[in-house]
Amino acid sequence: IYNNSTWTFSTVAPIAPPVNSLNETFTGCLAPALGSFTQTSELGNAQTWRCSTFGHNDANAVSMNGGITLADNTDWLVSPTMNVSAMANPMLSFWAKKRFAGTTTKEVLVSSNYTGDVTTATWTPITITGFAAIDTNGWNAFNNASLMAYKAANFHVAFKYTATAANPSDELTIDDVTITDGPVSTSSVQLENMNVSVLGTANDGVLTIAIDSKSTSNYAVRIIDVLGNTIYNGAIQASIGKN
């Protein structure tokens, strides 16, 4: 307050309520708005997450490219505030694509105390099999990463891209990010410690599945038909690798 007639003040956007599920296709993406996501450049402000016209199922996605010049870049793509406490088994799925030769660090992280500054929040990595070493063979699906550990409170999911001046940078594109209750597919399920796929076509009474396990473990298996009837309930032992 300068005097009895002149004031100075600033305003901020209202805090959006938590989102209870997520299905972000980035359709109609128009920077700086990146769908329901926001981008933060922690280091190297010249390159940031931006809208892409090379989408997975439509014309749009979001991408981060450190450029052909050798430079340090640390950039975050952060989801809206999520609250999935009503879900029985919340899972994160998304599609990703890498273009061009380069070496960058690609991470998916979760924070329960992010308030707008990525550097002051506590971030926990989510294990996404194959994401860190994604290749350049087109779009890759990363399905059903469990979010059970975070469902009791509000949280944010973030994609973090880190490039260093010591190496050229590749381009990372993200699209079709979903948080759903349970697996997104019945024919191929990717979990943190194992991947399960149906082989061929299921015949009456016969279902052949492939299990790719990170450890030698015993798994409880229950198969339920579309009417909710349990048609198999048992246990199997899987060795490390493909079974």
230-243 core/surface letters (b: 16 or more CB in 10 A; e: else): eeeeeeeebeeeeb
DSSP state of 165: T
Radius of gyration, CA atoms only, the chain: 21
Share of the chain above pLDDT 70, in %: 93
Distance (Å, whole) CA 73 – CA 104: 9
- Name the phi and psi angles at 149, rounded to 5: -70, -15
Q: pLDDT tens digit string along 133-142? A: 898 878 888 8
- How many Cβ atoms from other residues are within 10 Å of residue 89's Cβ? 14
Distance (Å, whole) CA 80 – CA 191: 23
Q: pLDDT tens digit string along 9-49? A: 888 877 788 999 999 999 999 888 899 999 999 998 788 99
DSSP state of 206: B
Q: pLDDT tens digit string along 207-231? A: 788 888 888 888 888 887 766 778 8
